[in-house]
Chain A
Amino acid sequence: MSFSISEKSDTIIALATPQGVGAIAVIRLSGPDAISLTNEVFKGKDLTKQASHTIHFGTIRDGEKIIDEVLVSLFVAPKSFTKENVVEISTHGSSYIVNQVIKLFIRKGARPAKPGEFTQRAFLNGQFDLAQAEAVADLIHSDSETSHQAAMNQMRGGFSGEIQQLRSKLIHFASMIELELDFGEEDVEFASRDDLRDLVEKLLRVVEVLIGSFDLGNVIKNGVPTVIAGKPNAGKSTLLNALLNEEKAIVSEIAGTTRDFIEDEINIGGIIFRFIDTAGLRETTDVIEAMGVSRTQEKMKTASLILYLFDLTDTDMVEISRDVNKLENLGVPFLKVGNKIDRHNPQLISDLKHKHPDTIFISAGEKENLDALKDRILELVNLDKFRTGNTIVTNIRHYDSLVKTRQSLLDVLNGLDIQITNDFLAMDIRRSLHYLGEITGEITTDDLLANIFSKFCIGK
Chain B
Amino acid sequence: MFQLYDVIVVGAGHAGCEAAHAAAQMGSKVLLCTMNMNTIAQMSCNPAMGGVAKGQIVREIDALGGMSGIITDKSMIQFRMLNRSKGPAMWSPRSQNDRMRFAEEWRLALEANPNVDFWQEMVTGLLVKDNRISGVRTGMGIDIPAKSVVLTNGTFLNGIIHIGEKKFGGGRTGEASSRGITEQLIELGFEAGRMKTGTPPRVDGRSLDYTKMEIQHGDDNPEKFSFSDATSTLKKQHNCWITYTNKEVHEILETGFDRSPMFNGRIQGLGPRYCPSIEDKINRFAERDRHQIFVEPEGWNTVEIYVNGFSTSLPEDVQYKAIRKIAGFENAKMFRPGYAIEYDYFPPTQLKLTLETQLIDNLYFAGQINGTTGYEEAASQGLIAGMNAHNKTHEIDPFLLKRSDAYIGVLIDDLINKGTEEPYRMFTSRAEFRLLLRQDNADIRLTELGHKMGLASDDRLDRMMDKKNETSSLMEALKQIKVSPESINEDLEKHQTAIIKEKISVDKLLKRPQLGLSDLRKMDFPLDTMLNKYSQTVIEQAEILIKYDSYLEKEQAMVIKLNSMENYKIPIDFNYLSIPALSAEGKQKLNKVRPETLGQASRISGVTPADLSILTVYLGR
Q: Which residue of B lies closest to A117 (CB)?
A: B613
A330 to B423, CA, bound (A): 67
- How far in angstroms is the closest Cβ of chain B from A284? 55
A120 to B53, CA, bound (A): 38
Q: What 1/0 mask marks residues of chain B from 533 to 562 whose CB sits below 8 Å from any chain A CB?
A: 000000000000000100100110010111
Residue B129 CB within 8 A of the other chain: no
Residue B617 CB within 8 A of the other chain: yes
A115 to B610, CA, bound (A): 8
A186 to B87, CA, bound (A): 18
A182 to B580, CA, bound (A): 43
Which residues of chain A come closer than 8 Å to B602, judged between CB atoms?
Answer: 1-2, 4-5
With A7-B561, A137-B617 in contact, is A144–B609 under 8 Å at CB? yes
Q: Which residue of A lies closest to B308 (CB)?
A: A460
Q: Which residue of B lies closest to A453 (CB)?
A: B273
Residue A21 CB within 8 A of the other chain: no
CB <8 Å contact, A459 and B272:
yes
Residue A427 CB within 8 A of the other chain: yes
CB <8 Å contact, B275 and A138:
no
CB <8 Å contact, A3 and B562:
yes
Residue B435 CB within 8 A of the other chain: yes
A116 to B607, CA, bound (A): 17
Q: Which residue of A lies closest to B559 (CB)?
A: A3
Which residues of chain B come closer than 8 Å to A444, judged between CB atoms?
Answer: 605
Residue B513 CB within 8 A of the other chain: yes
A5 to B565, CA, bound (A): 8
Candidate in B432, B581, B612 with the most chain A CB atoms within 10 angstroms: B581
Q: Which residue of A lies closest to B425 (CB)?
A: A459
CB <8 Å contact, B565 and A6:
yes
A408 to B573, CA, bound (A): 41
A427 to B556, CA, bound (A): 12
Residue B608 CB within 8 A of the other chain: yes
Stretch in B288-296, B362-370, B481-489, B520-528 with 4+ CB within 8 Å of A: B288-296
Candidate in A3, A120, A184, A426 with the most chain B CB atoms within 10 angstroms: A3
- Cβ < 8 Å to B, chain A residues 3-38: 3-9
A184 to B52, CA, bound (A): 9
Interface contact tally, CB-CB below 8 A: 170
CB <8 Å contact, B281 and A140:
no
- Cβ < 8 Å to A, chain B residues 564-587: 564-565, 568, 579-582
Residue B430 CB within 8 A of the other chain: yes
- How far in angstroms is the closest Cβ of chain A from B406? 17
- How far in angstroms is the closest Cβ of chain B from A121? 9
CB <8 Å contact, A445 and B564:
no
Residue B86 CB within 8 A of the other chain: yes
Question: Contact partner of B613 among A120, A420, A427, CB < 8 A?
Answer: A120
CB <8 Å contact, B603 and A457:
no
CB <8 Å contact, A187 and B275:
no
CB <8 Å contact, B554 and A141:
no
A134 to B284, CA, bound (A): 53
Question: Contact partner of A2 among B52, B272, B432, CB < 8 A?
Answer: B432
Q: What 1/0 mask marks residues of chain A from 122 to 158 whose CB sits below 8 Å from any chain B CB?
A: 0110101110011011101101100000000000000
Which residues of chain B come closer than 8 Å to A137, judged between CB atoms?
Answer: 579, 581, 613-614, 617-618
Residue B434 CB within 8 A of the other chain: yes
A291 to B274, CA, bound (A): 70
CB <8 Å contact, B610 and A460:
no
Q: Which residue of A lies closest to B94 (CB)?
A: A185
CB <8 Å contact, A427 and B435:
yes
Residue B276 CB within 8 A of the other chain: yes
Q: What 1/0 mask marks residues of chain A from 101 to 128 whose CB sits below 8 Å from any chain B CB?
A: 0000000000000111101100110101
Residue B150 CB within 8 A of the other chain: no
Residue B239 CB within 8 A of the other chain: no
- Cβ < 8 Å to A, chain B residues 27-41: none
Which residues of chain A come closer than 8 Å to B274, judged between CB atoms?
Answer: 453, 458-459
CB <8 Å contact, B603 and A2:
yes
Which residues of chain B come closer than 8 Å to A420, judged between CB atoms?
Answer: 87, 513, 551
- How far in angstroms is the closest Cβ of chain A from B39? 23
CB <8 Å contact, A6 and B87:
no
CB <8 Å contact, B558 and A181:
no
Question: Contact partner of A181 among B308, B428, B610, CB < 8 A?
Answer: B428
Q: Which residue of A lies closest to B433 (CB)?
A: A427
Candidate in B272, B292, B311 with the most chain A CB atoms within 10 angstroms: B292
Q: What 1/0 mask marks residues of chain B from 348 to 383 whose CB sits below 8 Å from any chain A CB?
A: 000000000000000000000000000000000000
With A4-B609, A140-B613, A445-B432 in contact, is A181–B86 under 8 Å at CB? yes
CB <8 Å contact, B613 and A184:
no
A25 to B258, CA, bound (A): 73
Residue A209 CB within 8 A of the other chain: no
- How far in angstroms is the closest Cβ of chain A from B306? 10
Q: What 1/0 mask marks residues of chain A from 405 to 435 whose CB sits below 8 Å from any chain B CB?
A: 0000000000000111111101100100000
Which residues of chain A come closer than 8 Å to B294, judged between CB atoms?
Answer: 460
Residue A449 CB within 8 A of the other chain: yes
Q: Which residue of A lies closest to B422 (CB)?
A: A453
CB <8 Å contact, A114 and B291:
no
- How far in angstroms is the closest Cβ of chain A from B331? 24
A325 to B188, CA, bound (A): 89
CB <8 Å contact, A140 and B614:
yes
A402 to B435, CA, bound (A): 25
With A2-B603, A4-B602 in contact, is A459–B275 under 8 Å at CB? yes
Which residues of chain B come closer than 8 Å to A120, judged between CB atoms?
Answer: 613, 616-617
Q: What 1/0 mask marks residues of chain B from 401 to 445 whose CB sits below 8 Å from any chain A CB?
A: 000000000000000001000000001111010110000000000
CB <8 Å contact, A427 and B614:
no
CB <8 Å contact, A181 and B90:
yes
Residue B318 CB within 8 A of the other chain: no
CB <8 Å contact, A133 and B83:
no
With A2-B602, A137-B618, A423-B90 in contact, is A418–B513 under 8 Å at CB? yes
Candidate in A117, A128, A182 with the most chain B CB atoms within 10 angstroms: A182
Q: What 1/0 mask marks residues of chain B from 75 to 92 whose CB sits below 8 Å from any chain A CB?
A: 000000011011101100
Residue B598 CB within 8 A of the other chain: yes
Which residues of chain A come closer than 8 Å to B568, judged between CB atoms?
Answer: 6
- How far in angstroms is the closest Cβ of chain B from A172? 14
Which residues of chain A come closer than 8 Å to B607, judged between CB atoms?
Answer: 1
With A137-B618, A181-B429 in contact, is A144–B86 under 8 Å at CB? no
Residue B309 CB within 8 A of the other chain: yes
CB <8 Å contact, B613 and A116:
yes
Which residues of chain B come closer than 8 Å to A459, judged between CB atoms?
Answer: 272-276
Residue B335 CB within 8 A of the other chain: no
- Cβ < 8 Å to A, chain B residues 17-59: 46, 51-53
Question: Contact partner of B513 among A124, A182, A419, CB < 8 A?
Answer: A419
Residue B285 CB within 8 A of the other chain: yes
Residue B235 CB within 8 A of the other chain: no
Which residues of chain B come closer than 8 Å to A185, judged between CB atoms?
Answer: 51-52, 82-83
A143 to B613, CA, bound (A): 11
- How far in angstroms is the closest Cβ of chain B from A433? 11
Other A-B pairs, 4, CB within 8 Å; known A141-B610, A459-B273? A6-B616, A120-B617, A424-B87, A459-B275
A selection of 9 A-B contacts at a CB cut-off of 8 Å is A114-B609, A133-B618, A138-B580, A140-B613, A178-B427, A419-B514, A421-B90, A457-B285, A459-B272
Q: Which residues of B contact A (CB under 8 A)?
A: 46, 51-53, 82-83, 85-87, 89-90, 272-276, 281, 284-285, 288, 291-292, 294, 308-309, 311, 418, 427-430, 432, 434-435, 513-514, 548, 551, 554-555, 558, 560-562, 564-565, 568, 579-582, 598, 602-603, 605, 607-610, 612-614, 616-618, 620-621
**Interface pairs A-B: 9 shortest CB-CB:** A144-B610, A421-B87, A459-B274, A457-B285, A423-B87, A141-B581, A178-B429, A137-B581, A453-B273
